[in-house]
Amino acid sequence: MIVIPAVDLREGHCVQLVGGSYDVEVIRLDNPPEVAARWEDEGFSTLHVVDLDAATGRGSNRDVIQKILKSTGCDIQVGGGVRTTEDVDELLRAGADRVITGTRGLEDRRWLIEVAEANPGRVVLAVDIWERRIVIRGWSKTVEHEFKEVISELGALPLGGLLVTAVHREGLMEGTDVPLMREVLACSSLPVQTAGGVGTIEHLRVLEDLGVAGVVVGTALYTGALDPQALIEEFAQ
């Protein structure tokens, strides 16, 4: 299992949100490319970059993303508002190792199949879950299908994996939703990354024992609750 620092972009800044609310920021830093370089210097090999403005239809940080892709040698997965084939192609051409799609991929299975088959192993589907329901469009709309049904149907696709976020735990650092992750892993044949709620190294150990492939960590790293060097020493990079 690897630990992946989150670089979440909003209005040109690097931010961290709490509990699925765009109104509650606990972190706001200038110069996201510098933040990304900091995590690379610490020794992390993979970064998770998300455009929160694009995800909610409030704007775009694509220029900042391109600067991050050009300025770091890390393996980088990029998401947030990726809803067209052109978005996928542009980000891959710009240097992203994987592109994350959520809303479009969940609403349009034919399109998801198309982009996954065109880019085997390089498209990751984001499945944001709030209290056992999948949420899309910046957490503003609920998907009617049960999350286990959706996830179990994806195994035949050549995806790079799933990113499952427990939105109700985001930024709280009180622990991830272990029962949820256990259910997700039981019905997924794809590699699963998770996010939401990690605050201690013990939280990460629990997820590793469950069989999670990677954990995206934000607030706990930015606030100093987790020591980067301790993470790099214990978890593969």
State pLDDT tens for residues 81-118. 999 999 999 999 999 999 999 999 999 999 999 999 99
Strands 161-166 and 133-136 come out as unpaired
Strands 21-29 and 13-18 come out as antiparallel
For the question of residue 41 being annotated catalytic, the response is no
Q: What is the mean pLDDT of the chain?
A: 93
Report field, pTM of the whole predicted structure over 0.75: yes
Q: Per the residue annotation, which of 8, 51, 53, 87 is the catalytic one?
A: 8
Q: What amino acid is encoded at 149 in this protein?
A: E
Q: Per the residue annotation, which of 51, 53, 87, 128 is the catalytic one?
A: 128
Is the pLDDT assigned to residue 137 strictly greater than 80?
no
State pLDDT tens for residues 41-82. 999 999 999 999 998 889 999 999 999 999 999 999 999 999
For the question of residue 8 being annotated catalytic, the response is yes
Is residue 50 helix, strand or coil?
A: strand
Is the pLDDT assigned to residue 223 strictly greater than 90?
yes
Is the pLDDT assigned to residue 19 strictly greater than 70?
no
